[in-house]
Amino acid sequence: MTIVISMYFFITIVIIVFMFSYVILRTNLLYSRFLLALGLFISIYIFGYAMELNSSTMESMLIWNKIQYIGLSFYAAFWLIVSLLFTKTIKRISFPLMLALFIIPVLTFVFRFTNSLHNFYYTSFTLVERNNQVFLQLGKGFWYYIQLGYSVLTLIITNILYGYRYKKSKNANKKIYRILIFASLIPILGISLILTDFWNTGLDYAALIVPVSIILFSIAIFKYDMFELKATARDSIFTNNEN
């Protein structure tokens, strides 16, 4: 199972790198830079988790678990920023907005890396074996649920923004917003599975499901050209202003 999951993560990272290259060459729109950041932090997250799954000792698992949080702490904030800019809800990122969006992710990052001093994020670490695979089982502290709630809230707001633009868009553009809505609903499903863990597998379902969102983002970029949509909308605004 570990080999299959690792290959799955590797393919996802390759897709993200390819998407990076396309974005860099294709456009210099502001929101595209935050899309790059989103892809980067998700890549760090899933790479760290893949390495944790392939580790066999508590020490190495904990190291890779910390590395995951370089990406896991911040990707939800960038997900929301991309939606704010793409839907033209905001035109630029102000300092107060950045402060509001990143105060919880920054604290999450700090609390995870200093967890041994206070146990705010994780209260315990144990190794468990399921289906001949060793997993790191984590006792969850109060800040874990704050970060989880923050992630769900940002994704809900993202879907509200995309849903609103979907209703306002012409039929030709609705496909992109439909894909973006599905892409932003998937991580919420992953978080829900983490909280319930019906199958008691010990897996991080969010890490397993987020790559599907990346694939959907790629479809929006390569098949329906969300950058061209943005440029067309911008040109339309300029034309209307001139008239």
Q: Which has the higher per-residue pLDDT, 53 or 2?
A: 53
Contacts of 61 (CB under 8 A, 6+ apart): 52, 55, 127, 136
* Residues β-bridged to residue 129: 134
Q: How far apart are CA 188 and CA 180, in angstroms?
A: 13
Q: Residue 235: pLDDT above 70?
A: no
Q: Which has the higher per-residue pLDDT, 162 or 28?
A: 162
Residue 208 corresponds to which tokens in the numbers above? 């397993």
Q: Find the mean pLDDT for residues 132-159.
A: 93
Looking at residue 129, what DSSP letter applies? E
Residue 226 corresponds to which tokens in the numbers above? 């969300």
Residue 33 corresponds to which tokens in the numbers above? 């830079």
Going by pLDDT thresholds of 50, 70 and 90, the confidence category of residue 66 is: very high
Distances (CA, A) of 60 to 89, 96, 211: 43, 38, 24
Contacts of 227 (CB under 8 A, 6+ apart): 23, 26, 27, 29, 32, 221
Least confidently predicted of 14-18, 108-112, 165-169? 14-18
Going by pLDDT thresholds of 50, 70 and 90, the confidence category of residue 229 is: low
Within 10 angstroms of residue 63's Cβ, the number of other Cβ atoms is: 14
Q: Residue 243: pLDDT above 50?
A: no
Average pLDDT score over the chain? 86
User: Which pLDDT score is estimated for 242?
Assistant: 39
Q: Find the mean pLDDT for residues 16-39.
A: 79
Q: Find the mean pLDDT for residues 59-83.
A: 95
Q: Which has the higher per-residue pLDDT, 100 or 216?
A: 100
Give Cα 210 to chain centroid, integer Å.
7
User: Which pLDDT score is estimated for 199?
Assistant: 67
* Residues β-bridged to residue 126: 137
C-beta separation of 45 from 210 below 8 A? yes
Residue with tokens 């605004």: 237
Q: Find the mean pLDDT for residues 19-42.
A: 80
Residue 192 corresponds to which tokens in the numbers above? 């829900």
The closest alpha carbon to 183, from 164, 159, 165, belongs to: 159
Question: Percent of the chain having pLDDT more than 90?
Answer: 52
Give Cα 79 to chain centroid, integer Å.
6
Going by pLDDT thresholds of 50, 70 and 90, the confidence category of residue 67 is: very high
Q: Residue 204: pLDDT above 60?
A: yes
The dihedrals phi and psi of 74, each to the nearest 5 degrees, come to -110, -15
Going by pLDDT thresholds of 50, 70 and 90, the confidence category of residue 51 is: very high
Q: Residue 233: pLDDT above 90?
A: no
Q: Find the mean pLDDT for residues 175-182.
A: 91
Q: How far apart are CA 200 and CA 198, in angstroms?
A: 6
C-beta separation of 238 from 94 below 8 A? no
Where does the chain have alpha helices with state H? 2-26, 30-53, 58-72, 75-86, 95-113, 115-118, 142-168, 171-196, 205-222, 226-242
Instruction: Judge if pTM exceeds 0.85.
Output: yes
